[in-house]
């Protein structure tokens, strides 16, 4: 019988750049007031989940979200830079409109999700996927039979969804990735399995959905 690790995967709370639809990548943008409120609500919702360890990207928007959960659970957060968002290099700090205006050919390759394409100074989709999925596998393997939380970014959540559903990297996304949303997966020796996705019932106001590696849209109240 295979040992199962339950993973509660959480996207960080809202930032000012989420609202402005600016690409954050590896830039360290903190939560805004809404994001801090979302993190608090998420933490309350997970207080009785039996979580035994909390892992987080070391970028402050994820780390602050994870710390809200750890405060409720009485745990210390473990940071892992392999859980960072995709590195977007020259695209970082820009909106899609600005990127498309400066580099139309590169913007087209990005939106078409070419796996080998990397912005200048950034990371390819293939490399990003391999990095964060491998990290989550290794983290889960260290906690057999336990429930753990992984707090990271929209791009990381997207990779975990694809890994759990065996979906191609170039497939268009039809699932949501709201700020402070709660996603549930199982990990066994055979890999990841999807249990539940984008639970935002703990949030009373709209969350922001990451539409394509940085672009956002408002979700209705849930």
Q: Which residues are catalytic?
A: 12, 85
Contact status, residue 65 vs residue 40, Cβ threshold 8 Å: no
d(CA 156, CA 162): 10
With tokens 């780390």, the residue in question is: 63
In the numeric block, which tokens belong to residue 102?
A: 């400066």
In the numeric block, which tokens belong to residue 147?
A: 């429930």
Contact status, residue 4 vs residue 35, Cβ threshold 8 Å: no
User: Which of 40, 11, 41, 16 lies closest to 28 in space, CA to CA?
Assistant: 16
């Amino acid at each position: 019988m295979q040992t199962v690790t339950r993973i509660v995967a959480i996207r960080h709370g809202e930032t000012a750049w989420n609202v402005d639809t600016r690409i954050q990548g590896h830039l360290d943008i903190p939560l805004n007031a809404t994001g801090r409120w979302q993190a608090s609500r998420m933490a309350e919702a997970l207080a009785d989940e039996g979580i035994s360890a909390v892992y987080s990207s070391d970028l402050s928007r994820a780390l602050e979200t994870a710390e809200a959960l750890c405060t409720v659970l009485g745990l210390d957060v473990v940071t892992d830079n392999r859980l960072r968002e995709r590195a977007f290099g020259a695209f970082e700090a820009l909106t899609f409109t600005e990127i498309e205006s400066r580099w139309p050919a590169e913007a087209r390759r990005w939106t078409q999700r070419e796996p080998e394409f990397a912005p200048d100074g950034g990371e390819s989709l293939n490399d990003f996927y391999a990095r964060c999925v491998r990290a989550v596998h290794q983290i889960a393997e260290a906690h057999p039979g336990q429930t753990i939380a992984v707090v990271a970014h929209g791009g990381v959540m997207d990779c975990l969804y694809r890994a759990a559903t065996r979906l191609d990297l170039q497939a268009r996304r039809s699932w949501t990735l709201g700020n402070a949303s709660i996603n549930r997966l199982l990990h066994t020796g055979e890999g990841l399995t999807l249990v539940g996705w984008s639970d935002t019932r703990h949030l009373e106001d709209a969350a922001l959905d990451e539409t394509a590696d940085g672009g956002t849209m408002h979700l209705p109240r849930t």
